[in-house]
């Protein structure tokens, strides 16, 4: 995947992406990163990238021209890229979109700052607006980095085992099961004995049940979208019965 970011903070972007799994993907060339700073495409002595909003009010708005030139430079490197603008008003990013991005060859992310970007640039140059969630960050960089991270780790060969991404939360519509490591006994509690049993079929069953149970408890909205097969329904029914027993619910 080749990504370009239009950003006033290229150092923030580059430094963040050098770390961990994504850093390794960059080193191996599985992810290619290009940053274009609108400030480098200004023509005045002050290198101005923003101006006051028409109609008054607080804050500043990003100017069209530096963005247009930065976008032109990005397009010359990534000619087939879709242009994705970071915006709290956009489509909400989720695992389905992360999967989609992980299969795209080229993406240009536009990172806003201040009050945002001149709407004419958004209306004419942007293919899709995407939001990280229903909150406002001070710039589009952290949202874009989050999306790039989520997409990169899904690309084949990026994680140590591709299987591990498949078992993550949301991949099949349910939350992940709990995980434990050594020591098996600890003052904070014991590891569920089934995980120490070596019975792989039983362990897989337990994990599936925990996933379904966690989704039922925490994200009924996700569960409502699923049609459970008979085996899953039985596992969940048993989880619910045990949960109600433990909590004294009829
Ligand atoms: N005035 C705007 C927010 C501007 S915040 C509004 O209320 O809608 C500055 C920039 O941060 C935005 O242009 C956008 O690029 C980025 N940003 C803020 N919150 C975001 C979110 N939830 N998802 C994606 N980008 C966001």
Tokens for 6, please give them: 């239009």
113 Cβ closer than 6 Å to some ligand 1 atom: yes
Of the candidates 62, 41, 51, 47, the one whose C-alpha atom is nearest the C-alpha of residue 119 is: 62
Cα distance between residue 20 and residue 41, in whole Å: 32
DSSP 33-90: EEEE-GGGG--STT---EEPPTT--SS-EE-HHHHHHHHHHHHHHSTTPEEEEEEEEE
Structure tokens at 49: 């990238």
Average pLDDT, the chain: 97
Of the two residues 250 and 29, the one the predictor is more confident about is: 29
pLDDT at 243 over 70: yes
**How far is residue 45's CA from residue 68's CA, in Å, rounded to a whole number?**
19
Q: Is 143 in the pocket of ligand 1 (CB under 6 A)?
A: yes
pLDDT at 161 over 90: no
Is the Cβ atom of 144 under 6 angstroms away from ligand 1?
no
Q: In 3D, which of 173, 174, 156 has the Cα closest to residue 165?
A: 156
Contacts of 3 (CB under 8 A, 6+ apart): 31, 32, 33, 34, 78, 106, 107, 108, 109, 148
pLDDT band at 18; cut points 50, 70, 90: very high
B/e letters for 183-217, b = 16+ CB within 10 Å, e = fewer, are eeeeeeeeeeeebeeeeeeebeebbbbbbbbbbbe
The predicted pLDDT at position 167 comes to: 84
Known catalytic membership, residue 192: no
Q: What pLDDT, in 10s, does the model give residues 38-84?
A: 999 999 999 999 999 999 999 999 999 999 999 999 999 999 999 99
Considering the candidates 50, 88, 113, 143, report the single residue annotated as catalytic. 88
110 lines ligand 1 (CB under 6 A): no
How many CA atoms lie less than 13 Å away from 250 in the CB half-sphere? 0
Establish whether 153 is a catalytic residue. Answer: yes
Angle, helices 141-152 vs 95-102, to 10°: value is 70
Residue nearest to atom 23 of ligand 1 (CA): 131
DSSP string across 88-115: EEEEEP-HHHHHHHHT-SEEEEE--BTT
pLDDT in tens, 176-215: 999 999 999 999 999 999 999 999 999 999 999 999 999 9
116 lines ligand 1 (CB under 6 A): yes
Categorize the per-residue pLDDT at 250 as very low, low, confident or very high, splitting at 50, 70 and 90.
low
- Is residue 149 flagged as an active site residue? no
Asked if residue 213 has its Cβ within 6 Å of ligand 1, the reply is no
Active site (annotated) includes residue 184: no
Q: Which residues pair with 3 in a beta bridge?
A: 33, 107
- Given the residues 40, 129, 168, 232, select the one marked as catalytic: 168
Task: List pLDDT tens digits, range 84-135.
Answer: 999 999 999 999 999 999 999 999 999 999 999 999 999 999 999 999 999 9
- In testing the pocket of ligand 1, which one of 7, 53, 85, 136 has its CB within 8 Å of the most ligand atoms? 136
Task: Tell me the CA distances in angstroms from 28 to 18, 36, 42, 158, one per residue in order.
Answer: 12, 22, 34, 9
Structural domains in the chain plus CATH codes: 2-152 (3.40.1280.10), 185-246 (1.10.1270.20)
- What is the full DSSP assignment across 141-161? HHHHHHHHHHHHTTSTTTSSS
| Gap from CA of 112 to ligand 1 centroid (Å) | 7
């Amino acid at each position: 995947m080749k990504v370009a970011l239009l950003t006033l903070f290229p150092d923030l972007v580059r430094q963040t992406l050098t770390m961990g799994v994504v850093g390794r993907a960059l080193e191996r060339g599985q992810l290619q990163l290009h940053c274009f700073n609108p400030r480098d495409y200004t023509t005045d002595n002050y290198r101005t990238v923003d101006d006051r909003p028409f109609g008054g009010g607080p804050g500043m708005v990003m100017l069209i021209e530096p963005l247009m030139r930065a976008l032109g430079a990005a397009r010359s490197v990534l000619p087939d890229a879709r242009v994705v603008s970071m915006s709290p008003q956009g489509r909400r990013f989720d695992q389905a979109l992360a999967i989609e991005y992980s299969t795209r060859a080229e993406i240009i992310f536009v990172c806003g700052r201040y009050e945002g970007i001149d709407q004419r640039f958004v209306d004419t140059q942007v293919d899709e607006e995407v939001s990280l969630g229903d909150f406002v960050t001070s710039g589009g960089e952290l949202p874009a980095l989050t999306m790039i991270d989520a997409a990169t780790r899904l690309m084949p060969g990026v994680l140590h085992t591709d299987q591990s991404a498949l078992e993550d939360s949301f991949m099949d519509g349910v939350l992940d099961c709990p995980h434990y490591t050594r020591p098996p006994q600890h003052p904070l509690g014991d590891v569920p004995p089934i995980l120490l049993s070596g019975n792989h079929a039983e362990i897989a069953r337990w994990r599936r049940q925990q996933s379904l149970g966690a989704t039922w408890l925490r994200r009924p909205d996700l569960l409502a979208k699923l049609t459970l097969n008979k085996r899953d329904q039985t596992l969940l029914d048993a989880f619910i019965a045990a949960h109600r027993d433990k909590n004294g619910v009829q």
